[in-house]
Structure 1
Amino acid sequence: MMTLKDPVALAQALIRCPSVTPHENGVLTQVQTWAKSLGFSVERPIFTDKNTPDIENLYARIGKNGPHLAFAGHTDVVPVGDEKAWNFPPFEGAIKDDKLYGRGAVDMKGGIACFIAAVARYLEKTPLEGSLSLLITNDEEGPGINGTIKLLKWAADKGETWDATIVGEPTNPNHLGDMIKVGRRGSLSGVITVQGKQGHVAYPERAANPLYLTIKLCEALKNTPLDEGSSHFQPSNLEITAIDTGNPTTNVIPAQSTIRFNIRYNDNWNIDTLKQEIENRLAKVKLQHGNASSASYQLDWMVSPGGVFLTKNERLVSRLSAAIEAVTGRTPELSTSGGTSDARFIKDYCPVVEFGLVGQTMHMIDECVSIKDLEQLTEIYEKFLEFFFADNSNE
């Protein structure tokens, strides 16, 4: 019989639900069953939006007083790719050589299993002096439109507030205890459409090739670094991700070209100042070269997935660090590296950090997690609950 204190059994049960975004396929029902058996009240709101699939989410809470700690995560997983390339069926939850295999093992069904097991162990020994909640979405690996961002607003509109949140993403690069993510760079993307005039390559005087302006615009974006970093963040970086004319021929001057780019920016910038910097760089190119070409450009900004943030909350960061060191003997690095996660939405409601399993196999064929790591992460989460709720400070 499954015990809720066993993270391996819980992780296996979650892996066996083939919850590739946006399909729930029983995975939230499994979490709901466990949460209710631990005394949580559970709600499963469904959010919708145009041109995106409807997404079911889960919010669970136990306790009525503060402090209020939330655990956030996602039950959806990325597609398995070529299933024949897997050594074990991706939704079987097979165990071999002390490793649990399956899609979502580390990203991040294993993390959810560890937290639930930790709560089960904690509640068995200690009366809860505060509140715990679960913020679980099935839309993190997909568009992210009908998931955490709407779940947070839905809960806040009902009067929910949180003092701190842990996101159970796989943050450790090599060993459990290596790293806590205490912030993230912001992300900003844009598309530049360069308009020229189509024509025959033998008669360039009758056309306006957009690629020459395209090249100069790309140089303006990349040639000067945005900054040299800050005390908590690596340098901001702009990457050109695509240049396209849609022109498969060699004897036609294209009518237009597009440039796509993304910027990962640090706390030297905010959305407005960064947009202004890019717009100024592009405007200088047009001023310098506009008379030499009849090509023109238009810049369109894409919806930003999240701004830069840094969590300095002592209660959250120091207690989690202490729990990690107590279990693993490692002092975790406080890092702001990497991409984005749902922490970008949570930081608008309360202090948030990310800590979970080792992420080396996430999204890969034969994704797997060490059985030892599942047990140790459960111990870390349990120890953190002890430290967090024993601390009466408001830091």
Structure 2
Amino acid sequence: MIQNDNDLENETAKLIEMTQAMVRLDSQTPPSDTRAMADLAAGFLKDLPRIKLTFYEGEAPVMNLVAELDGGLPGPRTILSGHIDTYPVGHVADWTTDPLGGEIRDGRIFGRGSADMKGAVAVLIAVMRDFANRGTFRGSLVLALAGDEERMGELGTQWLIDNVPEVKADGVLVADVGGPRAIRIGEKGMLWLDLRAAGRQAHGAHVHAGQNALDRLIDAVTALREIEELRPTPPEDAVAIINAASAVEEADGPAARETMTRMTMNLGVLQGGLTANLVPSEASAGIDIRIPIGLSTTTVHQAVSGILANHPDVSWQVTRSYEPTWTASTSPLAQACIRAAKKALGGQIWMDGRIGGSDSRLWRRAGYPCIAIGLTPSNLGSPDESCEIKELRELKQVYTAILERLHIDGG
């Protein structure tokens, strides 16, 4: 669809307006109160022909929105997936802009969720609006906007998968961060652990009379670093794609690529003790283990169990468990995405894996081919998060080209 300069200017203005409006709504997780965001998104779509809007609240305050658009002709069913919650703002004093202000500066929109992923949600809404105004097309589109993603999505996208027949489809496009030129076809898995150690309290000068729970816990956590030595055996397709992406100048750099392909462990929470001059009787830790393609949660779980068996004073449990996931580069959906993106943007377009988690893993676990294409993150989860306005236009061009290929041109 050819656009003149006025069309592009109006389209950009609308994308900016929607992104700013969403950034100005507080939807931090926790508590993942996404009702206002769902209402706003529905408002952008409610007056359009053939769109059916349904709100789903699996567990308060997480509100999810599903928008269905029937093209009127036989054809595939494609889900456009996005999350409408954000990371916490953090310390407001660390921001140079209002974190819920949506300020425009140097060609960027600033605010929590601007890149991850309210700007991309604006793109998905704009694409749905365009297709609703086109008339008939092959198959149908389903926009699934969910909360709770920053808490792993069990009350958001996973709840929709488990309970809503409308989200059954032939393929899924997730607009989470990664850059509009990168076709993300896989991501790491994860195993989250909660560790607890018990000891005996005593005066800090009388360490012989106590048992230090923090010491016991730190010893166990240090021993767990051994799991980073586990080596994956990824499938040939993943090796070929990730190696090819490493040669792309615009792709993730060497440090990020090394992280993408190996085991990592992050000690995110460590708690214990009352004061420096008391031996602590209790301590706890939260650990995030990320698992590359070519290893399984079972293998990692067994390794953790073997290590912690040598630390009997430390109890532990798994709080999150997700396998690494991969959609074959040769799949019809992946091929449609790469070809459409090249047609839309020209220049360098590549397939790649993804370091962080997204709702893609939930869709793939449910059996759907799934591709993630979103905005390039700037200060992801940090102060002064922002997205580039130019990329909003580019991402819309990519999604439009993909859906035209799937639902108008025939694949």
Q: TM-score, normalised by structure 2?
A: 0.78
Q: Distance in 2 between matches of 1:376 and 1:244?
A: 45
State the Cα distance separating 1:90 from its structure 2 match: 4.5
Q: Distance in 1 between matches of 2:227 and 2:152?
A: 32
CA-based RMSD of the aligned residues comes to: 3.1
Residues 195-204 or 229-238, more deviating? 195-204
1:270 and 2:312 matched: no
> Structure 2 vs 1, CA of residues 7 and 245 (structure 1 numbering), >3 Å: closer, same or farther?
closer
> Structure 2 vs 1, CA of residues 281 and 155 (structure 1 numbering), >3 Å: closer, same or farther?
same
State the Cα distance separating 1:94 from its structure 2 match: 4.1
| C-alpha contact (below 8 Å) 2:50/2:132 kept by paired residues | no
1:340 and 2:357 matched: yes
Pairing partner for 1:218 from 213, 217, 221? 221
Pairing partner for 2:339 from 322, 330, 346? 322
> Structure 2 vs 1, CA of residues 195 and 87 (structure 1 numbering), >3 Å: closer, same or farther?
closer
1:30 and 2:40 matched: yes
Q: Distance in 2 between matches of 1:97 and 1:139?
A: 31
Residue in structure 1 matched with residue 174 of structure 2 by the alignment? 167
SS in 2 for 1:359: coil
Q: Distance in 1 between matches of 2:118 and 2:195?
A: 39
| C-alpha contact (below 8 Å) 2:178/2:354 kept by paired residues | no
Residue in structure 2 matched with residue 180 of structure 1 by the alignment? 183
SS in 2 for 1:162: coil
State the Cα distance separating 1:210 from its structure 2 match: 4.4
Residues 259-268 or 199-208, more deviating? 199-208
Q: Report which of the two structures shows the higher radius of gyration computed on alpha carbons.
A: 1
5 Å-filtered alignment, 1:1-395, equals: 6-21=14-29, 22-24=32-34, 26-36=36-46, 37-48=48-59, 53-63=60-70, 65-81=74-90, 89-122=98-131, 124-125=133-134, 127-142=136-151, 144-156=153-165, 160-172=167-179, 176-177=180-181, 179-200=182-203, 206-210=209-213, 213-223=216-226, 225-231=228-234, 232=238, 234-250=261-277, 252-283=278-309, 285-286=310-311, 296-304=313-321, 306-312=322-328, 314-349=331-366, 350-390=368-408, 392=410
SS in 2 for 1:146: coil
Structure 2 unaligned regions, length at least 5: 1-8, 239-259
Residues 63-72 or 223-232, more deviating? 223-232
> Structure 2 vs 1, CA of residues 331 and 163 (structure 1 numbering), >3 Å: closer, same or farther?
farther
| C-alpha contact (below 8 Å) 1:19/1:77 kept by paired residues | yes
State the Cα distance separating 1:59 from its structure 2 match: 0.7
| C-alpha contact (below 8 Å) 1:311/1:352 kept by paired residues | yes
> Structure 2 vs 1, CA of residues 388 and 370 (structure 1 numbering), >3 Å: closer, same or farther?
same
The 4+ residue runs of structure 1 with deviation greater than 6 A are 2-5
Whichever residue aligns with residue 238 of structure 1, its letter is M
State the Cα distance separating 1:149 from its structure 2 match: 1.3
SS in 2 for 1:129: strand
Q: Distance in 2 between matches of 1:17 and 1:210?
A: 43
SS in 2 for 1:45: strand
| C-alpha contact (below 8 Å) 2:82/2:174 kept by paired residues | yes
State the Cα distance separating 1:355 from its structure 2 match: 0.8
| C-alpha contact (below 8 Å) 1:4/1:10 kept by paired residues | no
| C-alpha contact (below 8 Å) 2:23/2:112 kept by paired residues | yes
Whichever residue aligns with residue 176 of structure 2, its letter is E
State the Cα distance separating 1:362 from its structure 2 match: 3.6
Q: Distance in 1 between matches of 2:11 and 2:401?
A: 17
Deviation readout 1:295-338 (Å, 9 max, x if unpaired)? 7232222233x321111162221221222222332433433332
State the Cα distance separating 1:348 from its structure 2 match: 2.6
Residues 82-91 or 368-377, more deviating? 82-91
Residues 80-89 or 377-386, more deviating? 80-89
Deviation readout 1:198-235 (Å, 9 max, x if unpaired)? 34566555444445544543343114644234443611
Structure having the higher helix fraction is 2
Residue in structure 1 matched with residue 247 of structure 2 by the alignment? none
The percent identity for this pair of structures is 24
| C-alpha contact (below 8 Å) 2:123/2:396 kept by paired residues | yes
State the Cα distance separating 1:38 from its structure 2 match: 4.4
| C-alpha contact (below 8 Å) 1:18/1:25 kept by paired residues | no
Residues 146-155 or 116-125, more deviating? 116-125
> Structure 2 vs 1, CA of residues 319 and 216 (structure 1 numbering), >3 Å: closer, same or farther?
same
